[in-house]
Amino acid sequence: MRALTVTPGVKNSIRLDEIDTPTPSSSQALLRVQEIGICGTDLDINQGFYGEAPPGSNYLVTGHESLATVESILGNAHGISRGDLVVPTVRRPDSCMNCLNGESDMCLTGNYREHGIKRLHGFGSEFAVSDVQFLVKVPSKLSDVAVLLEPMSVAEKGVYQAFKIQERMLWKPKRVLILGAGPVGLLTTYLLRLKGLEVVVTATRAKDSA
């Protein structure tokens, strides 16, 4: 199958490779990738700033934002079956207490793995595998925008955490300032507008950073 791969640590190494189609384990599903998103992390990986190949591999399949259909799966695991539209989450936990508590974003060791970034191949290929428990089933009517689920989860997490922290007191915000009008800034804007908040977004212009 075709795959977008890099040699981690080597600048501008991204290329279209021909590699073997992965074989899912009994706890994994084989995914037919429909779309991927490209973010700053992918650009940094291609700059050689970071990225780590899976053990035993000298390349890394890139791509962590994705939308896929389930090509094969054992039984009807976690309510997901063949043909379903899914988004696999990116991070796979280690055994620290936060990871064991389902909060791998708060991993205490840094020993987590991430598809397309750190020790797991990504989804920039015709087929990919993911543990079934980390697949998010997506309604087919959202197929046009569902590849944005991963960056949207970044926005959701940030907003959730902000409100969580402010539970220390009564807090009824009316206006929000968002610094940065990239995809995450804009998705966060939509989210906060849906909450009925007035949102101000600022961004630098090209000439500001020149």
Report d(CA 23, CA 121) in Å as an integer. 13
With residues binned 3-state (H G I as helix, E B as strand, rest as coil), the percentages for the chain, rounded to 5, are 30, 30, 40
Nearer to Zn ion, 109 or 166 (CB): 109
Report d(CA 147, CA 67) in Å as an integer. 5
Shortest approach of Zn ion to residue 156 CB, angstroms? 21
Nearer to Zn ion, 34 or 98 (CB): 98
Q: Binding to Zn ion (CB under 5 A): which residues in 20-49? A: none
Type of residue found at 136: V
Nearer to Zn ion, 65 or 114 (CB): 114
The one segment of 2-10, 87-95, 129-137, 201-209 that binds Zn ion by CB under 5 A: 87-95
Strand partners, 68: 33, 86
Shortest approach of Zn ion to residue 108 CB, angstroms? 6
Is the separation of the CB atoms in 200 and 176 below 8 Å? yes
Shortest approach of Zn ion to residue 105 CB, angstroms? 9
Nearer to Zn ion, 104 or 153 (CB): 104
Check residue 94 for interaction with Zn ion (CB under 5 A). yes
- What's the Cα-to-Cα distance from 35 to each of 5, 64, 191, 199, rounded to whole Å? 16, 11, 23, 30
Phi, psi of 122 (to 5 degrees): -90, -160
Give me the residue label for tokens 């290329």. Answer: 15
Shortest approach of Zn ion to residue 114 CB, angstroms? 12
Among positions 30, 99, 135, 146, the unique one binding Zn ion when judged by CB under 5 A: 99
Check residue 107 for interaction with Zn ion (CB under 5 A). yes
By CB under 5 A, how many residues form the interface with Zn ion?
Answer: 4
Report d(CA 147, CA 65) in Å as an integer. 7
Is the separation of the CB atoms in 125 and 134 below 8 Å? no
Check residue 105 for interaction with Zn ion (CB under 5 A). no
The one segment of 3-11, 80-88, 91-99, 134-142 that binds Zn ion by CB under 5 A: 91-99
Among positions 96, 154, 159, 184, the unique one binding Zn ion when judged by CB under 5 A: 96
Query: Which residues contribute to the site for Zn ion (CB under 5 A)?
Result: 94, 96, 99, 107
